[in-house]
Amino acid sequence: MPRLLIVAHTKRKPEIEPVLRKLLPWLRKLAAVDAVVRDDQSDLSQVNSDLIVVFGGDGTMLSVARRLRGNATPVLGVNMGQLGFLAEVPHFEVRKLLPRVLKGECVLSPRMMLRVRAAQKGRRKEMNFVALNDAVLLRLPKAAMMTVGVSVSGEEIARYKGDGLIVSTATGSTGYSLSAGGPILSERLKAFIMVPICPHTLANRPIVLSGDERLEIVPETRSGSPVELVMDGQESISLTGGTTVTIERAPYEFNIVTVGRKGRYEIIRDKLHWAGWVKEGR
């Protein structure tokens, strides 16, 4: 029998528990359930299952992607709320679609991830993080406008002045990056999007860079206040001015299972309320 690991953050989202309770007896007949992880802290890097089934939404999928840290186990997202970009399967269609996935009637969609390193002055140890959607440098609420110096693979590219800087993957291009004026990229592209947040000059525009390049970012604030480094909108640390943040393509990817229920662009149309084509005869 195939082996499943179930991830359901029932402690944070108790509404998932009754749905999971109804499905678990059926799941245990369908496959060997290795464990049910109900928290959002457990390390998943040593998981040895055939498939991880995540009950939640895109936020839960982002958390799982970071906690896998290179574990290539494929992940199927079961959406418990509104239409999501990452959690594709509605919970009421699990009984119909999961058997198809276990038979191999699905597609694996590898997604580029970011490796983020922060070398802070006065600290010997470098801080390391990963992100699936984006890494964002933000001025703290009481801080003055910040300046962000950016180099790409050793070449200085710009000094942005404003509220911060977003570095996004193609997967994250429909998130914070989009709301700040960045482009939408196909998730198949291994690329970075660099988007200044509320730039002081209109000449500062989003830039798309190859995923093979390396970004070095040094943030400063006029007041000397710390700045915030945020991964996927979920994990954050405060950095002192002069800290060098290095962002590059992670040496591994996050493997999402898709069942073709909706294409990425159909999801984008639905989420962003774009008009779709009207088929002949309708």
Three-class SS state of 245: strand
The DSSP bridge partners found for residue 78 are: 55, 89
**How far apart are alpha carbons 111 and 233 in whole angstroms?**
18
CB-count exposure of residue 171 (10 Å: 0-12, 13-18, 19+): buried
Residue 39 designated active-site: no
Matching residue, tokens 């390193």: 117
**How far apart are alpha carbons 192 and 37 in whole angstroms?**
32
User: Which residues touch 113 (CB under 8 Å, ≥6 apart)?
Assistant: 65, 130, 131, 132, 169, 249, 250, 252, 253, 254
Question: Of the listed 34, 43, 58, 134, which one is catalytic?
Answer: 58
Q: Sign (positive/negative) of CA torsion 173, 253, 90, 103? A: positive
Using DSSP bridges, classify how beta strands 51-56 and 235-239 pair: parallel, antiparallel or unpaired: unpaired
Would you name the residues annotated as active-site residues? 58
